[in-house]
Amino acid sequence: MTTPPYLSPGDKIGIISTAKRTEPHEIEAALTTLKSWGLEPVIGANAFNEYGFLAGTDAQRLADLQQMLDDSAIKAIFFTKGGYGTLRIIDAVDWTGFKQNPKWLVGYSDITLLHSHVHNFGIQTLHGVMLQGYPKSTPESTETIRKALFGESLAYEIPVEPENRAGEMVEGALVGGNLSMLYNIVGSESDSDMTGKILFIEDIDEYLYHYDRMLIALKRAGKFASLKAVIVGGMVDIKESTIPFGMTYQDITLQHFDCPVYFGFPSGHIADNRALILGSTIKITPDTETVKFEFV
């Protein structure tokens, strides 16, 4: 996998909205943080547009994404908010310039689509907090974005969860993101290649039966056949339906994977949403009390 050039103070970064609409005040704190890193935010012309639920029409959101991808002066692209909408424009993007001059794409949730699509070009991306989430995020959430983008080492030591199915030390390329999005793109040009890799998943506001259905669909598509390990991040409001499903999300997860599974990783729709370098090699070292996750 190609690592995009790391950032340096003075670099310009693009700020765009490809999904849900965003108000300017929602990203003020994020802009202050980015400027404190010595970066120069360049806000897309349509970043604060409104078109119903979305941040402008498909054409407007596409125009901002395309402009930032093609502008060689822009060294990374940050997304303001997730929700839904990127899927509506992905097939119209021209990736020619981006493939010739890769840059970091920073976001999660709905941006899982872009992560997966870009990995098929052999380019790494950064799974991390959306700009509107900075005020409610832990200091570690934003600091780990900075460390990853500026080329500093990134490693986490997480307490062992009782539900873990631990294995030996393992390393492999990290892929994944939002489970609902991974499920939605199966069979498409953006589909994620999980062969021989380590999978990260997180999600929010799903019924337990639907969580089960998404994992089964991915499993039946052959996605889990050769995984080295699974890292489970925040699973927020994964809830019962009217008639109880009868299993926890941990039970369901363990049923569908034969490899080591590690729960409780601090990433996803949670306040402690730490950065993950998707496409990079991650080494997992389990111990009796902690599990270490280290990008190598």
- 292 sits in which H/E element: strand 290-295
Known catalytic residue at 269: yes
CA distance 122 to 270: 29
Q: Write the CB contacts of 54 (distance below 8 Å, at least 6 apart in sequence).
A: 19, 20, 21, 61, 84, 85, 88
Whether the CB-CB separation of 15 and 41 falls below 8 Å is answered with yes
Tell me which of 202, 206, 210, 267 is the catalytic residue.
202
The residue type at 283: K
Interior angle at CA 180, CA 149 and CA 170, nearest 5:
55
Strand ranges across the sheet with 12-16:
40-43, 12-16, 74-79, 104-107, 125-127, 276-278
Q: Write the CB contacts of 287 (distance below 8 Å, at least 6 apart in sequence).
A: 160
Q: Write the CB contacts of 31 (distance below 8 Å, at least 6 apart in sequence).
A: 15, 41, 131
CA distance 171 to 80: 32
- As beta bridge partners, residue 236 has 204
Tell me which of 109, 137, 192, 267 is the catalytic residue.
109
Whether the CB-CB separation of 61 and 32 falls below 8 Å is answered with no
| Separation of first and last alpha carbons in the chain | 13
Name the residues annotated as catalytic: 109, 202, 269
